[in-house]
Structure 1
Amino acid sequence: MNAIKNGEVSFWHADMGGLPTPRRPLAGDTTVDVCIVGAGFTGLWTAYYLKQAEPSLSIAVIEREFAGFGASGRNGGWLSGDFTWSRDKYLSNGTREGVISFERQLRETVDEVIRVCETEGIEADIHRTDCLTYACSPAQMQRMRAALAEERAWGIGADRATLIEGPEALSRIRIANTQGALVTHGVARVQPAKLVRGLASVVERLGVSIFEQTKVTGIAKGVVTTDRGTVRARRIIRATEGFTHGIPGNEREWLPMNSAIVVTEPLPQSLWDEIGWQGAELLGDASHAYCYAQRTREGRIAMGGRGVPYRFGSATDVRGQTQPETIRQLTEILHRMLPQTRGLRLDHAWCGVLGVPRDWCATAGLDPKTGIGWAGGYVGIGVSTSNFAGRTLADLVLERQTERTDLPWVNRRPRKWEPEPLRWLGVHAMYRLYHLADRRERASGGQRSSRLAAFANRLTGR
């Protein structure tokens, strides 16, 4: 039996034939109109929309590894347009109407990403589908009803999400102990490494310079310093998301949260007939320590979750290698939800980091005094949100007043995370409480939600 591959950045890159040959590094000092730090979705979308608006701009993208090395090439492939943050928290920087507009515009990113891919010839295995979030206990069903009711109380969600009961939910995917499912329409599955690497090629064709294998050592007004030279620019965009802590002065800005995925061998058609899942829907569950999954182009199951959520001192993985305990936990989730898969081989496991602000809410902005902009803190839904961030940052760089620049996430700056060991203790306590809450609910037959999860959220400000 083949041993499971662990790391090697991600399965998505292996699916493309292996890791790409790095582009040339920065070759000494240079001056451009805009310097973007980070060649992931946020940085590349920003470059794309800037070039669409002002083709004459000179733009340099600086990347420590290669385009798509970080979360953009490692995520679960959910192009969802979701809004998962606390709506009430955004009211401190805007109005109710602004929050609703933000959510509405985020939903439109699914169509926008697909439009760009069709226009630019990016083949990324995109498949329009639904997202199915399964409730496997009465308590989980109760939470989903409450979440849907909250959306509708805000005047949103009525046309996008519906709740289906057990028999109908089982007809979609045969998840064990199904009580029902929340069906979210208007989403898509994507192969994320294909998307990010295709986008990098597109912006290069538009005249953007991408310098890889170049480590940024500092960002200041008008200057980005690297180990290969200095870049001077009137506008600088920090698009480093989960790796932001590695830039001096930003160590406690966003916490790098671990998320990991395991991928099975391709399933035989007979097993798909047993499981269902014929629409390639995105799949999640309503547990406190939730999971996310997709059916891939070639008929594998990619199952993801938090596993070991955070490494002390904001340390990150080594080229995607994850812990055996994380692989064990994800395998347990896969087998619990889909016991039909118990005989399957796992082919690949990996992890990455996502950026988490102290208030767990995404932000984008630009400081006019320094000329430094940023976007991130997507808390795990960056495939779609990064596209919207790129459009917003392009407006801010070009000093255009638009519907996007007035939204409540713009120029919102939450407080920093606590120093160690407080943040390690807080995050690990939160996830231990989530897992304990899920175990208690299962042990009691899942009749009511555990209060431990609510306590965990209060503990960390989630």
Structure 2
Amino acid sequence: MGTTVFERMRPDASIVSHALSATRQSPFWIEDAPADDYPALTADTHCDLAVVGGGYSGLWTALLAKRENPSRRVVLLEARRIGWAASGRNGGFCESSLTHGEENGLTRFPQEFDRLQEFGRANLDEIERTVNELGLDCDFERNGAIDIATEPHQAEWMLEGANGDDAVFLDTDAVRAQVNSPTFEAGLFRTRDSALIHPAKLTVALARACAELGVEIHEHTPVEGLDTNTLSVAQGAELHTAHGTVRARKVALATNVFPSLLKRNRLQTVPVYDYVLMTEPLTDAQLASIGWEGRQGLGDSANQFHYYRLSRDNRILWGGYDAIYHYGGRVREEYEDRPETFRRLAAHFFTTFPQLEGIRFSNKWAGAIDTCSRFCAFFGSARDGRVAYATGFTGLGVASTHFGAQVMLDLLEGRATERTELAMVRSRPLPFPPEPAASIGINLTRWSLDRADHNGGRRNLFLKTLDAVGLGFDS
């Protein structure tokens, strides 16, 4: 097997140790954007629409529902705090793709891929328009993104993806003129379809906008059960919590990685942990040493890839590469501190930016991604149209949760729209098998993807088999 640039240009261990010596285990974004407090539910209530989950998916659903019909009574129930999970921990890449990239979309939805691209760009435009209309304070920057090649075979992929318009090929000199790293072989500058946001500021701003429109938000209110058996379709559904029952005409489930209240979705997603580092703010001299004047989002192009971007105060967020699944699909706080992964990430950072030797990481954290077998979101309704869901975003939910919210509202209102007629919306991914098969399959896939990265991108028989049956993944 070959090596990657991260093995060929490994930094001294002392550089990594110094960088991590004062790092605290805490999501930077959440520290940087203190959230408002919302009361727990303390009594029975009723509403037109109940939304379960206080991340992007739930907040967009509540906001859009109220903007569409201000007289509609909307109640949002969050088990802990608004935006505390994936929505407050992600990289802040607001991407237009609804299909987790071009290759995944072309493979799974070839007949409607062009239309999905149009939907995705319109979705990003709508988010930008809403941010401006409502004055959402979320550090929105539509700077585009650069896909980075760190190996020669990846440079060929960049060239194939260029269209000379909004996907511009950058050779070695051109990409290093944008951002200076000795690891960069080439790049693909996507000028239209990517923006950056401050993840936690967006959740705070969306919640405030919801509350101003009259959405009733309840934190620290986990939903323990969904009941429709004793109710007619006209009566709707009941959501049971420890301190009250919510009777709702319609219910939108926006629970992301956490176990679904619908049995049919229990095996549709698995939690995969993603890890992140954040540097202290760069000095002017440090920033000058790497350039990055365009402030684009960056991501390299291996199967196990890194994503990185600048914050408003010129910190570098550096995340990705390891994607860790724990037996049984558990989501637990203790999984968030994984020293070997943070050391690996830090080493890869200094391989990429050796000129930043001496800088420290202020924060490290992790979060669970709701991965499904088709690697992009799926949608549906249940209980005679009383309940809708959108989940399985697989790490690309910052923008696509807005689209998912629109789909859920269409389904709940019984509207036949172009969105609801999409094959992407009408179909479901294959479920994951129960344990121990799930753990064996997921970890074998990860091992195989790593081997492909070390073998010029060439996929082994196992990955080719997954591709053939529609379970393949291409980042």
TM normalised by structure 1 equals 0.89
Query: How far has the Cα of 1:395 moved from its partner?
Result: 2.2
Identity within the alignment, %: 29
Is 1:421 matched up with 2:474?
no
Q: Please identify, of 220-229 and 160-169, the stretch whose mean Cα deviation from structure 2 is larger.
A: 220-229
1:367 to 1:247, Cα distance in 2 relative to 1, 3 A: closer
Q: Structure 2: which amino acid aligns with 1:417?
A: F
TM normalised by structure 2 equals 0.86
Is 1:143 matched up with 2:157?
yes
**Quick check: 2:372–2:429 contact (8 Å CA) kept in 1?**
yes
Gaps of 5+ in 1: 150-156, 442-447
Query: How far has the Cα of 1:333 moved from its partner?
Result: 2.1
**Quick check: 1:99–1:407 contact (8 Å CA) kept in 2?**
no
Deviations 1:315-364 (A, max 9, x none): 12418833112211211221222222232101101111121122323112
Structure-2 separation of matches of 1:78 and 1:317: 25
Partner of 1:63: 78
Query: How far has the Cα of 1:44 moved from its partner?
Result: 0.9
Equivalent runs, 1:48-447 vs 2, <5 Å: 48-82=63-97, 83-84=99-100, 86-88=104-106, 90-91=108-109, 96=111, 98-146=112-160, 148=161, 159-186=165-192, 187-221=194-228, 222-244=237-259, 250-318=265-333, 321-367=336-382, 369-438=384-453, 440-441=454-455
1:407 to 1:368, Cα distance in 2 relative to 1, 3 A: farther
Query: How far has the Cα of 1:249 moved from its partner?
Result: 6.3
**Quick check: 1:429–1:456 contact (8 Å CA) kept in 2?**
no
Query: What is the SS of the residue equivalent to 1:270?
Result: helix
Gaps of 5+ in 2: 1-17, 229-236
Query: What is the SS of the residue equivalent to 1:36?
Result: strand
Q: Structure 2: which amino acid aligns with 1:173?
A: V
Query: What is the SS of the residue equivalent to 1:309?
Result: strand
1:450 to 1:336, Cα distance in 2 relative to 1, 3 A: farther
Q: Structure 2: which amino acid aligns with 1:455?
A: L
1:34 to 1:25, Cα distance in 2 relative to 1, 3 A: same
Deviations 1:356-398 (A, max 9, x none): 1223231122236151100121111101101111122222222
1:57 to 1:245, Cα distance in 2 relative to 1, 3 A: closer
1:319 to 1:411, Cα distance in 2 relative to 1, 3 A: farther
Deviations 1:246-265 (A, max 9, x none): 87664322111111210001
Structure-2 separation of matches of 1:87 and 1:249: 24
1:159 to 1:223, Cα distance in 2 relative to 1, 3 A: farther
Q: Structure 2: which amino acid aligns with 1:113?
A: I
- Matched residue count: 439
Query: What is the SS of the residue equivalent to 1:343?
Result: coil
Structure-1 separation of matches of 2:337 and 2:94: 24
**Quick check: 2:124–2:399 contact (8 Å CA) kept in 1?**
yes
The Cα RMSD (Å) is 2.3
Query: How far has the Cα of 1:199 moved from its partner?
Result: 0.2
**Quick check: 2:148–2:301 contact (8 Å CA) kept in 1?**
yes
Is 1:455 matched up with 2:469?
no
**Quick check: 1:434–1:453 contact (8 Å CA) kept in 2?**
no
1:259 to 1:185, Cα distance in 2 relative to 1, 3 A: same
**Quick check: 2:30–2:84 contact (8 Å CA) kept in 1?**
no
Query: How far has the Cα of 1:298 moved from its partner?
Result: 0.4
Deviations 1:70-110 (A, max 9, x none): 1111110001212425335644xxx71x3321221112222
Query: What is the SS of the residue equivalent to 1:380?
Result: coil
Structure-1 separation of matches of 2:464 and 2:76: 39
**Quick check: 1:430–1:456 contact (8 Å CA) kept in 2?**
no
Q: Please identify, of 275-284 and 215-224, the stretch whose mean Cα deviation from structure 2 is larger.
A: 215-224
Q: Structure 2: which amino acid aligns with 1:178?
A: F
